[in-house]
């Protein structure tokens, strides 16, 4: 089959690799209909996270059709259209039973093989899915493949971020970063009842889309976000800050923007060794800091009814489509934010 594979810093190659096969009785093989490039794919792409084996098939966002199942798969059959979270889930461990599927003791991340151990990803014609019964969900009627694709990662992550912000009517909420997850966080905050959402970024196209999702926007190259937020809150600061970037600067901005007693909810993939503020600063401000990987499998099921209501046009974040064969060029475009690129969907 054809796939996009990792070969070092900024080196993704479209090449022929072996077809996946059933290795365990709970496996399914999915023929990929659509997949996507995610911001977290940039971490191995730039080797900010070390260890990915060369030749690993990239990607953890995919939707497709089941073409083969193992002997112990009970709830899925060939021909079903399914979508997947970015990690596998057993459905039965302590954490899965609590809904914290991100910490499944048997879970593995798609698109990460290190020292020959792990899973190939979904930026390919086919993908092997272990623990298929508890990992995959069938796409119900009325849900488009692209919507299911967003549920498998970025909408679930944005909603998780907004939920952790403990949204209440009358509160003031700031979203730091208007990339795909930030935009999903804005949509989720609206869904949860937020009336005042301030979104900050520097890219005009992203700010414009944030406005369409219901936020008041601030270009922090043009004006002080801190002054803007304090002006809106009688000098206090935001009730909660939703930080989706994962950088030291974004973390510091979140701390400066949140009011005493407020919440910082962060879902950005941080690779720093220290927080952007000290324990003493956190103590002196009485903040609550919520952080972690989204339990996408849990949220996929929880959020399906919202998608089925058809009141949110989440697919507006998809700005570009390309064939899988043009994946290397799509990675470069996504990385450079060229041509207003926000979210790229690939089709094998």
Q: Which residue has the higher pLDDT, 223 or 290?
A: 290
Say if strands 62-69 and 28-37 run parallel, antiparallel, or are unpaired: antiparallel
The angle at the Cα of 316, spanning 158 to 201, to the nearest 5 degrees, equals 60
pLDDT digits (tens, 9 = 90+) for 66-121: 999 999 999 999 999 999 999 999 999 999 999 999 999 999 999 999 999 999 99
pLDDT digits (tens, 9 = 90+) for 150-193: 999 999 999 999 999 999 989 999 999 999 999 999 999 999 99
Q: Band of the pLDDT at 268, cuts 50, 70, 90?
A: confident
pLDDT of residue 239: 98
245-261 confidence digits (pLDDT tens):
988 989 999 999 999 99
Q: Which of 177, 162, 180 is nearest to 247 (CA)?
A: 177
Among 43-47, 125-129, 293-297, the range scoring the smallest mean pLDDT is 43-47
Contact between 26 and 132 under an 8 Å Cβ cutoff? The reply is yes
With the C-alpha atoms ordered 322, 326, 329, 332, is the resulting torsion angle positive or negative?
positive
Q: How far apart are CA 233 and CA 261, in angstroms?
A: 14
Beta bridge partners of 346: 35, 322
- Domains, the chain, in order of start with CATH, read 2-153+295-347 (3.90.180.10), 157-291 (3.40.50.720)
Average pLDDT, the chain: 95
Residue 314: CB partners within 8 Å, gap ≥ 6?
A: 147, 150, 155, 184, 187, 307
In angstroms, the CA 159 to CA 156 distance is: 5
């Amino acid at each position: 089959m054809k796939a996009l594979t990792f070969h070092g810093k900024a080196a993704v190659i479209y090449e022929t690799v072996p077809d996946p096969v059933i290795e365990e009785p709970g496996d399914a093989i999915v023929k990929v209909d659509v997949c996507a490039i995610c911001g977290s794919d940039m971490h191995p792409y730039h080797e900010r996270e070390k260890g990915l084996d060369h030749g690993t098939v990239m990607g953890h966002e995919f939707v497709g059709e089941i073409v083969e199942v193992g002997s112990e798969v009970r709830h899925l059959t060939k021909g079903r259209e399914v979508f997947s979270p970015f990690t596998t889930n057993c459905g039965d461990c302590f954490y899965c039973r609590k809904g914290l599927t991100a910490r499944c003791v048997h879970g593995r991340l798609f698109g990460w093989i290190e020292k020959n151990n792990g899973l190939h990803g979904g930026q390919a014609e086919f993908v092997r899915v272990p623990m298929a019964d508890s990992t995959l969900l069938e796409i119900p009627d009325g849900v488009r493949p692209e919507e299911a694709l967003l549920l498998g990662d970025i909408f679930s992550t944005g909603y998780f971020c907004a939920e952790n912000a403990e949204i209440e009517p009358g509160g003031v909420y700031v979203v730091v970063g208007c990339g795909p997850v930030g935009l999903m966080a804005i949509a989720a905050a609206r869904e949860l009842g937020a009336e005042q959402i301030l979104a900050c970024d520097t890219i005009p196209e992203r700010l414009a889309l944030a406005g369409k999702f219901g936020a008041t926007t601030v270009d922090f190259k043009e004006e002080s976000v801190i002054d803007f937020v304090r002006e809106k809150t009688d000098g206090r600061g935001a009730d909660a800050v939703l930080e989706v970037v994962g950088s030291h600067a974004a973390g510091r901005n979140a701390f400066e923007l949140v009011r005493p007693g407020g919440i910082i909810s962060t879902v950005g993939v941080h690779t720093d060794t220290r927080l952007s503020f000290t324990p003493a600063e956190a103590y002196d401000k009485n903040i609550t800091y919520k952080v972690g990987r989204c339990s996408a499998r849990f949220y996929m099921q929880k959020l399906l009814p919202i998608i089925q209501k058809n009141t949110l046009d989440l697919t507006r974040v998809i700005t570009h489509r390309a064939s899988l064969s043009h994946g290397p060029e799509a990675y470069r475009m996504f990385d450079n934010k060229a041509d207003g690129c926000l979210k790229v969907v690939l089709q094998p």
